[in-house]
């Protein structure tokens, strides 16, 4: 096991290259199951989660090539399996994304129920109800979802009670091979959905309503392989913006897309950071004290729940009070107890956290509990006086490529080391 050690209090200066988006790479990799032939995906981030989904596909007979710093090429021509086992699914819930493509391609699929995770129960009822609307019979057997269809899926209308990101992605992929049209209502509008719509369009499926909450999918009998780039990771971008806010200094983020972060940029302006956006870059600087600002997490284009923990770390060193309301997941305050160990003053009241900014955080030993909670501990550790030691960093490595290298390159005193036995 490894841990991260940070000596806080050093300002950051220089450039950080943003990697491809984890939450776009996962559905686009799953979409390669829809048709044989060599797909080419550029800008795929090399993360624990992308390696996990590739292991899942390989177990089904999918071939792939991934040259260092090159595109990921995938060919599912020789699919020999249609099962996603519990061993792999329990390490990454997003494995559920193979369900739609597999049942559309093969007419049957068996995927382990993901089970809950640190931030919530994470049900998949919307996914299953949507597939049933497309003609699937769904059975739950010993912890697995068995989905079947005789012949082709049939287009229909799917309505999401809540705009589910992976739910929208699963139904989009399934509907692309269905007979007739499918209308998805109250669809999620995250940029990662747009990336998937672009890929399915390149594969030969007509889709209307990109970027809106109503998508119309004109299913086809067969698709063709595509070549496409994964969009920049907006959550990685937001995390580094707030790292500079916490540590101070001035950094330019490269290969990012400012248009994918409307709510966060608005809030960071209000916090008092200096933000200048280009086409594919954002310059961020902290010139003076941080102002405390309230946020409520919402589906895109609202404030992303995946940036809530990092924002809380930033507000823990601001001036005054900030109320943070977590609207998406029922248990996404696991980072509070760890931030308190660094001296943060945070009071939880149901789905709200009231943060009182303190003069100075103090380094301590802390423990990562989930992916974005671990990122918030890095943000706080960069500002805290003294050493912050973060254990269980495998959480972090699921979603941040080369985080230690990227931060060290702009002057952070940060290193990875073995956990003492
Ligand atoms: C995606 O998860 C992301 N993961 C999450 O990022 C992100 O936090 C989340 O969307 C919200 O933006 C990937 O894209 C791989 P949802 P997803 O379905 O699709 C409820 C990270 O840190 N719901 O949009 O699983 C659900 O409980 C991860 O990168 C149902 O009730 O989230 C939640 O309250 C964490 N039934 C809400 O909807 C369902 O069938 C939104 O969840 C599905 C969801």
In the chain (421 residues long), the average pLDDT of successive 10-residue segments reads: 96 98 98 98 97 95 94 96 89 94 97 82 92 97 95 97 98 98 98 98 98 98 98 98 98 98 98 98 96 98 98 96 97 96 98 97 96 97 98 95 98 96 80
- Could you tell me where the beta strands, DSSP code E, fall in 226-359? 227-229, 249-254, 274-277, 281-286, 295-296, 321-325, 345-349, 352-356
Taking the CA of residue 399 as reference, the ligand 1 atom at the shortest distance is 29
d(CA 197, CA 182): 14
pLDDT (0 to 100) of residue 363: 98
pLDDT (0 to 100) of residue 57: 96
Closest CA to 306 of 286, 281, 277, 335: 335
- Residue 117: active-site member: yes
pTM check: above 0.85? yes
d(CA 72, CA 55): 13
pLDDT (0 to 100) of residue 310: 98
d(CA 378, CA 348): 21
Ligand 1 lining (C-beta closer than 6 Å): 22-23, 26, 94, 120, 122-127, 162, 164-167, 188, 305-306, 328-329, 371-372, 399
CA 407 to chain CA mean position, Å: 20
Taking the CA of residue 398 as reference, the ligand 1 atom at the shortest distance is 29
Whose CA is closest to atom 26 on ligand 1? 122
d(CA 64, CA 69): 15
For the chain, list the domains and their CATH numbers: 2-19+232-418 (3.65.10.10), 22-229 (3.65.10.10)
Give residue 305 CA to ligand 1 midpoint distance, Å: 9
**Residue 236 DSSP code:** H
Give residue 346 CA to ligand 1 midpoint distance, Å: 25
pLDDT (0 to 100) of residue 116: 67
Whose CA is closest to atom 24 on ligand 1? 164
pLDDT (0 to 100) of residue 354: 98
Lookup: tokens for 75: 């060919």
Whose CA is closest to atom 4 on ligand 1? 23
Give residue 28 CA to ligand 1 midpoint distance, Å: 17
pLDDT (0 to 100) of residue 125: 95
d(CA 145, CA 112): 6
Give residue 167 CA to ligand 1 midpoint distance, Å: 8
Residue 80 burial class via C-beta count within 10 angstroms: exposed 0-12, middle 13-18, buried 19 and up: exposed
d(CA 169, CA 340): 37
Taking the CA of residue 166 as reference, the ligand 1 atom at the shortest distance is 19
């Amino acid at each position: 096991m490894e841990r991260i050690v940070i000596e806080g209090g050093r300002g950051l200066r220089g450039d950080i290259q943003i990697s491809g988006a984890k939450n776009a790479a996962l559905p686009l990799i799953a979409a390669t199951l829809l048709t044989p032939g060599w797909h080419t995906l550029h800008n795929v981030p090399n993360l624990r989660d992308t390696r996990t989904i590739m292991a899942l596909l390989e177990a089904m007979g999918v071939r792939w090539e991934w040259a260092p710093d090159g595109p990921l090429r995938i060919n599912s021509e020789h699919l020999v399996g249609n099962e996603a086992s519990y061993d792999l699914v329990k390490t990454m819930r997003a494995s559920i994304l193979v369900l739609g493509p597999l049942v559309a391609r093969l007419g049957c699929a068996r995927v382990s129920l993901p089970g809950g995770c640190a931030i919530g129960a994470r049900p998949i009822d919307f996914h299953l109800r949507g597939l049933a609307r497309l003609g699937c019979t769904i059975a739950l057997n010993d912890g697995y979802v068995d989905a079947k269809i005789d012949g082709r899926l049939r287009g229909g209308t799917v309505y999401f009670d809540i705009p589910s990101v992976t739910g929208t992605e699963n139904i989009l992929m399934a509907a692309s091979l269905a007979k007739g049209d499918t209308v998805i209502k109250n669809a999620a509008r995250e940029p990662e959905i747009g990336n998937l719509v672009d890929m399915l369009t390149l594969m030969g499926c007509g889709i209307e309503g990109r970027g809106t909450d109503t998508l119309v999918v004109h299913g086809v009998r067969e698709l063709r392989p595509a070549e496409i780039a994964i969009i920049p990771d907006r959550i990685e971008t937001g995390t580094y913006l707030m790292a500079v806010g916490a540590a101070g200094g001035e950094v330019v983020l490269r290969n990012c897309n400012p248009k994918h972060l409307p709510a966060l940029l608005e809030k960071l302006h209000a916090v008092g950071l200096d933000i200048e956006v280009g086409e594919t870059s954002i310059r961020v600087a902290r010139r003076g004290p941080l102002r405390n600002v309230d946020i409520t997490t919402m589906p895109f284009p609202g404030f992303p729940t995946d940036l809530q923990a990092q924002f809380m770390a930033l507000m823990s060193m601001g001036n005054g009070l900030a109320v943070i309301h977590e609207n998406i997941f029922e248990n996404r305050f696991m980072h509070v107890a760890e931030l308190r160990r660094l001296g943060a003053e945070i009071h939880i009241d149901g789905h709200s956290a009231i943060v009182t900014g303190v003069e100075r955080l103090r380094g301590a030993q802390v423990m990562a509990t989930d992916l974005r909670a671990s990122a918030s501990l890095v943000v706080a550790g960069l500002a805290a006086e003294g050493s912050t030691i973060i254990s269980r960093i495998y959480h972090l490595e699921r979603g941040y490529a080369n985080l230690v290298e990227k931060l060290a390159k702009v002057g952070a005193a940060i290193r990875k080391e073995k956990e003492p036995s």
